[in-house]
A and B are shown apart, each in its own frame.
Chain A
Amino acid sequence: MAAQTETVRVTKPAPARATDTDQRHHRGKARWFVLAAAIVVAVLMMVPFVIMVLNAFKSPQDYSQNGPLSWPSTFYTDGLTAFWDRVNFPEKLMNSIWISATVAVFGTLLSLFSAYAIGVGRVKGRMWLVTLFLLANMLPQEVLVYPLFQMANKVGLNNNQWSVIIIFTVIQSAFGTYLLASVLGTFPKALLEAAALDGAGRWRTLWGVVFPVVRPTLSVLVIFFFIWTWNEFFIPLVMLTTNATQTIPVALASLQGDRMMDAPTTNAGALVSMIPAIIFFLLFQRTLTRGVTAGAVK
C-alpha cells in the first residue's frame, strides 16, 4: 500500500506545463463541485443512521409530538432498556458470537485442508472440484433448507446451534477453498522442494511451510466468514426456532410487527443490533477492503 502511494506521488506532479494553466483554473472550480456532489451522496447514505440515533433516545410522546427530525427533548433510555430486556440482548449477542466464531475457525481450517490438496497436491480432477465448490457457493439456500431441516430433526439437532454451525462451515469453506486453491496453485516450488529435502512430510510441510506463508489470506478468510455468518438470516431463521438459540438478526426481525414496539424502541433495537457490526468494521476496515478485492482479483 505505502509503496504504491509513494510511486503515485513521485510520478504525479512532474508534468506541469504552461499551456495547462487555463484548463487547470477551470478544473479548480470543478473539483469543488465534484466534492460537493460526493458529499451529498455520502449524506444520503448516512441519513438513515443519523435519524435512527436521533430517535433511539426519544420518548414515544416526544416522537409523536415533535417528529423524527427534532433533537430529543430529554435523554430517554427506556426504549433502549425495553429492547435490551425484551430480546435478552446479551444472550443473542453470545449466540451470534459463538456461531460466527466457530464457523470462522472451522470453515478456514476446512478450506485450508481442501485447498492444500487441490493447490499444492494437484489432485486429479481438481478443476471439477473447484467448479463444484464455486457452484455450491452460488446455490440458493432454499434448495437445501428443507432437507437440512429434516436431517437436523432426525439426528436430534433441531433448534440446535450446531446445525447452523455445520451448515455454514461447509458453505463458507466452499468459497474459501475456491479462493485459497488459486492462491496455493502458485505457491513457490522452491519452498516445497526445500521442505522435502529436509525430510518433512505433507503434514509438517502444511504447518511449517505453507501455513506461515498464507497466514494473511487465512486471516482475511476468518474475518470474512465471521461477518458473513453474523449477517446470515435465512437458515438461522428456519433452524433456530426458540428465543434461547436465536442470533441477533433473527431476534430483531421476529420482533417486527410486535405492537409493543414503538418507534423509539425500534430504533434503539436497530442501534444496539448494528453496534457489534460497526465495531467490527472499524477494527478490520483495512482487512475487509483487502478481502473484498482479494475475492475479486482471484
Chain B
Amino acid sequence: MSTTVAERRTPRGRRSRQWLGYLPYLLPGLVAFTVVILIPFGMNVYYSLHKWKGGNAPMRWYGFGNYADLLHDEKFLTSFQNSIWMIVAMVVVPTLLGLILAAVLFDVLGKRFGPRTASVLRATYYLPQILPVAVAGVLWNWILNAQTGAINEVLRSLGVENPPNWLGDTTTALPTVMLVLIWIQIGYPVVIFMSALQRVDPELYEAAELDGAGWVHRFRAITIPQIKPETFVITLTCTVAALKVFGPIYVLTRGGPESSTLVPSYYSYLNFFDKSKVGYGAAIANVLTLLIILVAVAIMVLQARSARREEEGH
C-alpha cells in the first residue's frame, strides 16, 4: 500500500513543478517584451506627467496637468468625436456590407455560378486590404485632388464648373475619408464571413428549406446566429483598428482642413514631432490606450457572455 502511495505522489509532484523547465523558452519573449513594450509604456506614462519639449530639453513636473488641459482642448475633443466616425467607416458599414456580400457570394453565386466565380469576386474585394495604406493613400489623394484629380477631371468634362474640393473642404473631407476607409476595409469581413459560412452545417439549411423557410428567414434564423463568433472577432479587431487609425489620415489629409479629420493618434504624433509638446502627446496616447483597452475588454466580456448563454441554451 505505502509503495503505491509513494509512487503516486512522486509523478504528481514532479508534474506540478514540471513547468519550471520550460521557463528558459519563455525568457527571450519576456525580456524582449519588457524592453520594447513594458518599459516604453512606463516611460510614456512618466513623460505624460511632465512638460517637456523633448530631446535634451529640461523636464518639468506637471502632475496631471496635461490630462486636465486635454479636457479644455477642443482639438482633442474633436479628434475623439472623429473616432466615432472612423468606427462607422471601419466597423459598422464594412461589417454590414461584408455580411451581405459574403452571404450572396456563398449562398447564391457560389452555388449557381460555381465556387470559382465566388472566389474571384472575393479576391477582388480583398485586394485593397493587401496594399500598404500609404500606397492606397497616395493613389486616392490623386484621384480626389481638386485641381488635377481624376474625379474632378471627369466632373469638369461633364460640365460641372466648380467640382468640390473633396479633401480640402471642411464639409466634405470627413465623409470622403470615410469612403476611402470603407473601400480599404470591406474585404476583411467578406473573407472571414465566407469561411465562417463554410463551417455551417448545410443540413441546417436543408431542414429549414424543407420547412418552407425563405432565404431571408434562413439568413436570420441560421446564418446570423451561426457566425456570431466571427462577428465578435471582426467587431473587436476593426474597432481597435478604427481607434488607432493613423496612416490613411497622415497620407490623405494630415488631420485637416481645420481639424475636420483629426484623429487621436495623429494628434498625438503632431504633439510629439511637430509641436514639441512631448508630455502632452504622451497624455493623448495614454488616454487613447485606456479607451482601447476598455473597449476591447467590453467586447471580450460580451463575447464570453454570449458564448456562455449559447452553451446553456443547448
Contacts and interface: CB of A to CB of B under 8 A. Distances in A.
Interface in B54-111: 54, 101, 104-105, 108-109, 111
Contact of B26 (A113, A136, A281, A288): A113
Contact of A67 (B40, B153, B198, B285): B153
Nearest to A249: B134
Interface in B271-312: 272-273, 278, 281-282, 284-286, 288-289, 292-293, 296
A51 B153 CA distance: 12
A34 B109 contact: yes
A140 B288 contact: yes
Interface residues of B, number: 97
B192 interface: yes
A52 B33 contact: no
Interface residues of A, number: 100
Contacts of B121: 38-39, 42
A257 B283 CA distance: 30
A144 interface: yes
A202 B26 CA distance: 13
A142 interface: yes
A227 B36 contact: no
B178 interface: no
Given A69-B154, A142-B265, A142-B288, A170 B32 contact: yes
B168 to A, nearest CB: 13
A31 B202 contact: no
Contacts, number: 273
A289 B105 CA distance: 15
B256 interface: no
Given A51-B150, A289-B191, A270 B33 contact: no
A250 interface: yes
A123 B143 contact: no
A138 B40 contact: no
A253 B134 contact: yes
B222 interface: no
A206 B272 CA distance: 44
B2 interface: no
A45 B125 contact: yes
Interface of B: 18-19, 21-23, 25-26, 28-30, 32-33, 35-37, 39-41, 43-44, 47, 54, 101, 104-105, 108-109, 111-113, 115, 117, 121, 123-125, 127-128, 130-135, 137-143, 148, 150, 153-154, 157, 183, 186, 188, 191-192, 195-196, 198, 202-203, 206, 209-210, 229-230, 233-234, 240, 243-244, 246-247, 250-251, 264-265, 268-269, 272-273, 278, 281-282, 284-286, 288-289, 292-293, 296
5 contacts: A15-B210, A69-B150, A173-B32, A278-B130, A296-B229
